[in-house]
Structure 1
């Protein structure tokens, strides 16, 4: 596609629709977060399957995101965009009629596949409606909208579910999708690449094989008792084979979908690793906090969703303020500050208690949001300041993918440790209920009383396990924090 296309008629409306699609697809990722208890109950979904609600969407979008531009160049931007939008609506409708966990997860996969195409193409459409001199700064606006969708999705889902049930949360996007489809049909001109674009399908396929196999291994391992299962061995073998083929292909071929020159820029590589950790922490924290409030502490869905708002305000507010920081200030300092603030926020989460009210959650969430809001634009500035301008489009795609990969693996890993820790803590707490504990054995206990006692112990064990996962997320940021020292001072971008 030609980067110097003239601004189409109705450029403002077209850009608004593209940004609305960006918000919609990012908000639908965490939309069920505050209502997992109701989704699990109505679909007979087990606790380990609840994590699939997020990982299926993320993994699917990570698969289609790298190929979105090729599809648009090969088959036409308008045609591919409208097809992705229709596919997204199909996923929404299937989610509302799902009656089993697999049907619901399948609907989420369809949404994720469409989302991976909509996100980069929405940005491309928005960029083409802007004058050349304004395109360089537009990336910050687009990222802010993505983040706004991620942090506001649970509050929207919680409010709708409290008043209308969980299935209507997916109906919200239907009129938005219809509006976006109509605007694109009327105002977006069809565009294809002047020459048939090439794409490294072998590299993409091997990388995708490794990603899918690893995700399946993490999602299914706990249920299948890990390597006692033939399926887990096959998934581990698929992951190893995919990584091996991709590494050999990367080292032996000159042309592939990830340019080797990207990995020669120290700032880009280190910033991408830290950005991966940001994705690991952000969505995993949300995936832990909402179920903690909803299932363990018994908060209603609208309150659970509302407690994500402080994180969103802090994140988006800090992100926008960073755009006003003068160029003369060294962004490495802000990266260090952002990492420190995120670590501090996760440290505050270690003090959560079953006896607390909502304020510690709001305060820790707001502080974490501020830290990530400082960190993300600073990392972006550093990552691309020393990168060859010719590599920036490809680098942007991989940089954003690192956050998605981090979120996908982060949610899967914290789910694994959560269930293991819950079982371990349950056994530890039960071991203290001996005949010598008079409070538990003052009189013969009925089955109903024993069930209530077990439920109380399970809740205590689950709460301790959740707090342990916040410690894991804090450690993840501590591990990448030394990388800040090795960043080079950024230079002004072209």
Structure 2
């Protein structure tokens, strides 16, 4: 039986609980906070369209890498020390975000901010479970998950409103006093805790896996700009990715100890849930990354309105997740997984009907359905993953699920960016070719003045971009469709005890 912290016994447990939940929300909201503010950020930093994905993927990838080593860091240097250093670096990243004058500076600041956020989520959950009695652990875990998802979902709405009325730098300023409150609460109330004998950590496995993932991420992010394998840089990134994954696989097969234990991959439900979690991440953030630019740049919605139009998706996600989590354990969770996937697929199918002539209703309706589907899928996925897993492996299994979702989001953003620009160019050529019955470019140029020709080109470009965005929603729809049959291979839930 666990006991609460001495400080918690004196009433500080409430403050620690609020601080830990606030840290979880702050870590998550900063993933999507720049989403609706992208036009202001691009204009201020002269950021090219193909660099927009770095705003999200740099933060997420850095967070995933550091999250993997959080347990070892806390055991080696102390939980409180790691937590406070992370908060201090997070605040430094926020300030560097506001001071950036170029896109490179901004991305580097986002990398620092993301790396510092990595330990905040898992350590916040550990603190919550320690300062509260075991009877509340289930409820606290649910609250922690809700805070994380609410942060991602509410980020565009908050960021859009702040950037429209207070400038884009305000979206980072607002997190500074929150960080200060969390730092002060932990400094005064949290007792230090570290492992008596720190466990060895598989740094070689983490480094090789990270090299493979980062190389793949850079390959996808940079290939469109550098014309794929015509560039030496792309060859270097591809080689680094292949080498990293090769060394990691060999390392896993030839050693007994590595940062992802082989016991995890012997559980069928966890393996299948990890694949589904990757697809969930592939849909979750790329949908936001596509919707806001489409509304702002192609349909000319104000930034604050764009942010507000994403709010119903987040409300539906959190509400449905809360309701699904309260369903009795005797009910088969696989029905909720299939229902959630069906809603997500149907919502993305609705997005295929987007057009420049639509109003706000199709966006809100599709967002509500997709949010509801994700809210059903996420808690059911957790039950599937841990229903048959050895309790000793659950902390590592939880980390594996989180990593798969985060890397799914980074890869998803990169993939939709690549296809978006390819499809935009292809559609522009196809539409421009058919502007006259004779398909004569010389005839058009000779009969339209330069301003009119420029306006015509802008209209064709806009139409091409709208078609390209819709094509990306189709990719996200098929990503969820492909993994849907895996639900049929999940083991039946154990009888409730």
Runs of 4+ aligned structure 1 residues displaced above 4 Å come to: 2-5, 435-443
1:256 counterpart = 2:258: yes
Alpha-carbon deviation of 1:475? 0.4
Deviations 1:16-40 (A, max 9, x none): 1011011011001111111211211
* Gap runs ≥5 in structure 2: none
- Corresponding position of 2:458: 455
What is the SS of the residue equivalent to 1:327? coil
Deviations 1:119-153 (A, max 9, x none): 11111111111112322443222111100000000
Alpha-carbon deviation of 1:8? 3.2
Q: How does 1:301-340 map to 2 (within 5 A)?
A: 301-340=303-342
What is the SS of the residue equivalent to 1:329? coil
1:469 counterpart = 2:468: no
In the alignment, the residues of structure 2 paired with residue 53 and residue 371 of structure 1 have an alpha-carbon distance, to the nearest angstrom, of 26
In the alignment, the residues of structure 1 paired with residue 411 and residue 273 of structure 2 have an alpha-carbon distance, to the nearest angstrom, of 18
TM-score, length of structure 2 as denominator length: 0.96
In the alignment, the residues of structure 2 paired with residue 5 and residue 231 of structure 1 have an alpha-carbon distance, to the nearest angstrom, of 53
1:446 counterpart = 2:445: no
In the alignment, the residues of structure 2 paired with residue 454 and residue 43 of structure 1 have an alpha-carbon distance, to the nearest angstrom, of 26
C-alpha contact 2:330 2:495 (8 A) present in aligned 1: no
TM-score, length of structure 1 as denominator length: 0.97
1:488 counterpart = 2:475: no
In the alignment, the residues of structure 1 paired with residue 366 and residue 160 of structure 2 have an alpha-carbon distance, to the nearest angstrom, of 20
- Corresponding position of 2:7: 8
* Gap runs ≥5 in structure 1: none
Alpha-carbon deviation of 1:323? 1.6
What is the SS of the residue equivalent to 2:329? coil
CA 1:335–1:435 in 2, change beyond 3 Å: closer, same or farther? closer
Q: 1:350 aligns with which of 341, 349, 352?
A: 352
C-alpha contact 1:7 1:129 (8 A) present in aligned 2: no
- Corresponding position of 1:298: 300
In the alignment, the residues of structure 2 paired with residue 190 and residue 450 of structure 1 have an alpha-carbon distance, to the nearest angstrom, of 68
- Corresponding position of 1:110: 112
Q: Answer with 5-14 or 355-364: which moved more.
A: 5-14
CA 1:457–1:5 in 2, change beyond 3 Å: closer, same or farther? same
Alpha-carbon deviation of 1:234? 1.0
CA 1:437–1:255 in 2, change beyond 3 Å: closer, same or farther? closer
- Corresponding position of 2:22: 20
User: How many residues are aligned here?
Assistant: 493
- Corresponding position of 2:248: 246
Q: 2:387 aligns with which of 385, 388, 410?
A: 385
Alpha-carbon deviation of 1:167? 1.3
Alpha-carbon deviation of 1:206? 0.8
Alpha-carbon deviation of 1:437? 7.4
Q: Answer with 142-151 or 32-41: which moved more.
A: 32-41
Q: 1:478 aligns with which of 451, 457, 481?
A: 481
C-alpha contact 1:7 1:130 (8 A) present in aligned 2: no
In the alignment, the residues of structure 1 paired with residue 377 and residue 3 of structure 2 have an alpha-carbon distance, to the nearest angstrom, of 32
- Corresponding position of 2:103: 101
Alpha-carbon deviation of 1:446? 2.6
- Corresponding position of 2:189: 187
C-alpha contact 1:385 1:492 (8 A) present in aligned 2: no
C-alpha contact 2:351 2:470 (8 A) present in aligned 1: yes
Alpha-carbon deviation of 1:443? 7.8
